[in-house]
Structure 1
């Protein structure tokens, strides 16, 4: 049973996570998992949080569906991510080797730091990745998403090299999360991971979703395009640093 202070901390974490994703199109799950897993077991937290994240993605897609880059989503992102995600869901069932997240986090720190360096050195935006590189990174992102619901960093890194418009970037990723997380919830349902405990946790966090959408959408509207790109890479860097720190200093 969570204490009142633990509940308040979890709600604050989820609020910040939803603000972040409503503003830039990603980040909610990895922030919640890396910070919230200290308070709630990950196999309770994920089935409670992912259904709420679906509602956030659905809201973004419903309002901005005309901006979805359908060709890039269906031809480049989904096939590779889907294959990886199938493997990731299998690994989730046999024990979730969380130590692999340390290497994953270090890799993402290096990628995002490199992109921020380019931004602050006023270099041109990175060109789209070679097809074979993007396929590999998207597949790896799918594996991590199937295991932990937080494969976004690798997927975002690839998409960020291709989608430079902030609105198109946000809604295209929201569409992807909507599809992937719906599959995850069905997986949780079949596996019996959706329980009364996860439902109560979801209901507890629901007000944070509404507040996060309201604040995050206003932030998205106010962010200039060049500032948006800095925020994207910065969120990615912070999330990865938190991930690395959590695993390096875990008891």
Structure 2
């Protein structure tokens, strides 16, 4: 009786619902959450061609809605060239790394990210310190590599942009445009590989789940203690990251 309910794709649907509810509530993390939990039940190579195109539904809508707030100079001259180069490098490196190593490295990335966020939630954010132009570019390039590997370049890109003086709305709009652009390129890469055709049924089934998560997140946004919710969420992600490593 329970086997259909515990199938990997049904579990992934629940993870996608959690991920996009969280994204709508807090403004972060749809792919990071869905991929880190989904990797416990399905291979990364199976998950990526599903989760990356699904993200275009949200990032495309938000990019269109907030396009006037995008800092185009920072995006086109600073972030995108380095992030795109790193994304290409990570995308091309995936077949050479193998599933086991990819999963272990992703688990380490998620565990470190979760510990950092739990520390910030407990002690408050540390003052932003600019890295300098050279180190900022290095971190952007590495953020691109992690995005090419896992479509999860957000944590490193935010770190790379420490000290950038943009108001919250423009910063968020600019990052959303980054994800829409890079995930669009990754989706084209998966299409060229023929990786999208086998997962069209899953994409069609999960698209309404994404929309449901967005609506649910909007409803819960003012009804749930975000601080406590983030503590629970990152604790779960920390355990998921450790499970992927060990």
Question: What TM-score comes out, normalization by structure 1 length?
Answer: 0.79
CA shift at 1:183, angstroms? 0.7
1:108 aligns with 2:113: yes
Alignment of 1:73-88 (within 5 A): 73-88=75-90
Conservation of the 8 A alpha-carbon contact between 2:108 and 2:245? no
SS of match in other structure, 1:184? helix
CA shift at 1:29, angstroms? 1.0
Alignment of 1:164-243 (within 5 A): 165-196=167-198, 198-217=199-218, 222=222, 238=235, 241-242=238-239
Change (3 A) 1:239 1:56: farther
1:119 aligns with 2:119: no
Gapped runs of 5+ residues in structure 2?
none
Change (3 A) 1:238 1:182: farther
Deviations 1:70-96 (A, max 9, x none): 222222221221121111011113335
1:145 aligns with 147
SS of match in other structure, 1:162? coil
Change (3 A) 1:216 1:175: farther
Question: What TM-score comes out, normalization by structure 2 length?
Answer: 0.81
Conservation of the 8 A alpha-carbon contact between 1:26 and 1:174? no
The 1-side partners of 2:122 and 2:185 are apart by 36
2:92 aligns with 90
CA shift at 1:128, angstroms? 3.6
Q: Aligned pairs, how many?
A: 239
CA shift at 1:142, angstroms? 0.9
Query: RMSD of the alignment, in Å?
Result: 3.2
Gapped runs of 5+ residues in structure 1?
none
